[in-house]
DNA sequence: CATATTACTTGTATTTCGCAAGTAAGAAAT
DNA sequence: ATTTCTTACTTGCGAAATACAAGTAATATG
């Protein structure tokens, strides 16, 4: 099992300490799954299409929990199931995630979604508000589904407006 | 030397493809050094206080160049020296970097700078404009110096206003 | 010309990762 | 009630990436 050695690298810079908490190849993908796809269980993360192995997934979930970015709660409907949920601190990563999404969509032409996502640049606030609303209400409808599916931003906007 | 195997993980998601390009422990720190500290040479990156080893640094610089995020130009003043410079694509990471900085400053109380950086939240556009200005003019004055030094945002704002 | 500096490369030990398989606890099916 | 399935992991091992130390080639400096 990978220990939490991590070869201390505290430079004191906020960017550096941010990256110490989620700056590996998997953490941000897990956070994306929770934030924009509404995933909550181990199995969903495993099947998210990125191909993370179960030992690494388990380790990252533990690390992110220790960092206070997510928390666990056993599902009341099913005793085996654990629900993972972002904390406030984790949700504060929404702007980072959105900018990553926008950058990726702008510089990769990997699919029709990218055009749509690029348009997100013009409604950042709206999207962030909607993301937060879903988190608060434990609404796990994906904002952006797995892939190739359609964005449901139209629905999102409707809901957000109604809420305000 | 580490080959560019990277175990292909193309999920098609823009976040995922973004992370494939700079989602390791070092790349974003190098980009930070270029973007906000004005570093341009191998040696400066090496001495940035994070403790990156030279083989990894060389590899990351090569990878980031291959990804079109930065470019190299031999310094005309000194034949040994290589200057690394962000491309447009690399500069487009400025919003990501800024959000990372804001998040880190908000959730780590690692120094007096954090208070100041947290205030950046209120002038995102201004900072992004100033960062871009410096890039365009090849002005390598650090926006945020190494650490413990003072922010020079006041100066930055002055210049930005004058420029407009 | 001797020494220093810069940008690397090379070699090796250590760490982390990916993959396959296994396990424990709870749920569902017969 | 007992077998089977599902979920969330853990274990072991080979492969890959990383850190650390040292070395090198091309300039530059004294």
- Condensed to tens digits (0 to 9), the pLDDT of residues B75-90 reads 999 999 999 999 999 9
Query: A137-164: per-residue pLDDT in tens?
Result: 999 999 887 765 444 444 444 444 544 3
Query: A81-132: per-residue pLDDT in tens?
Result: 999 999 999 999 999 999 999 999 999 876 667 677 777 888 999 999 999 9
Closest by CA position to B80, among listed B31, B43, B128 = B43
The CA-atom distances, in angstroms, between A149 and each of A11, A98, B9, B12 are 42, 18, 19, 12
Rounded to whole angstroms, the Cα distance separating A24 from A107 reads 21
Q: What does pTM read for this prediction?
A: 0.86
CB contact under 8 A, A113 and B28: no
Residue positions counted in chain A = 164
A14 interfacial to chain B (CB closer than 8 Å): yes
Structure tokens that stand for B130 in this block: 């100033």
CB contact under 8 A, B14 and A147: no
Asked if the model's pLDDT at residue B73 lies above 50, the reply is yes
Q: How far is CA A35 from the centre of its chain?
A: 4
Element (H, E) at A71: strand A70-74
Element (H, E) at B84: strand B82-86
B66 interfacial to chain A (CB closer than 8 Å): no
Asked if the model's pLDDT at residue A48 lies above 80, the reply is yes
- Band (B68; pLDDT cuts 50, 70, 90): very high
Q: Which residue has the tokens 């040696």?
A: B43
| Residue B107 burial (CB count, 10 A) | 22
- Band (A9; pLDDT cuts 50, 70, 90): low
CB contact under 8 A, B114 and A148: no
Minimum CA–C1' distance nucleotide for B76: D27
Structure tokens that stand for A65 in this block: 């929990």
What is the Cβ-side half-sphere exposure of residue B147, based on CA atoms within 13 angstroms? Answer: 19
Structure tokens that stand for B7 in this block: 């175990």
B-chain CB neighbours of A29 within 8 Å are: 15-16, 19
Residue B150 CB partners (closer than 8 Å, separation 6+)? none
Residue A102 and residue A108 in contact, taking contact as beta carbons nearer than 8 Å: no
Residue A68 CB partners (closer than 8 Å, separation 6+)? A87, A89, A90
Query: What region does A12 belong to: left with phi over 0, alpha with psi -120 to 50, or beta?
Result: left
Beta bridge partners of A70: A86
- Report the distance from CA of residue B77 to the C1' of nucleotide C6 in Å, as an integer: 13
């Amino acid at each position: 099992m990978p220990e939490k050695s991590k070869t201390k690298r505290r430079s004191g810079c906020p960017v550096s300490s941010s990256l110490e908490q989620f700056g590996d190849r998997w953490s941000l993908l897990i956070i994306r799954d929770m934030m924009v796809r509404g995933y909550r269980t181990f199995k969903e993360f495993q099947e998210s299409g990125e191909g993370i192995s179960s030992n690494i997934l388990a380790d990252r979930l533990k690390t992110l929990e220790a960092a206070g970015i997510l928390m666990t709660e056993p599902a009341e409907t099913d005793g085996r199931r654990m629900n993972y949920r972002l904390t406030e601190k984790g949700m504060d990563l929404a702007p980072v995630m959105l900018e990553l999404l926008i950058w990726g969509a702008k510089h990769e032409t990997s699919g029709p979604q990218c055009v749509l996502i690029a348009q997100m640049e013009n409604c950042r606030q709206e999207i962030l508000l909607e993301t937060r609303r879903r988190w608060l209400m434990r609404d796990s409808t994906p904002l952006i589904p797995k892939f190739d599916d359609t964005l449901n931003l139209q629905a999102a906007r409707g809901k957000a407006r109604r809420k305000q």
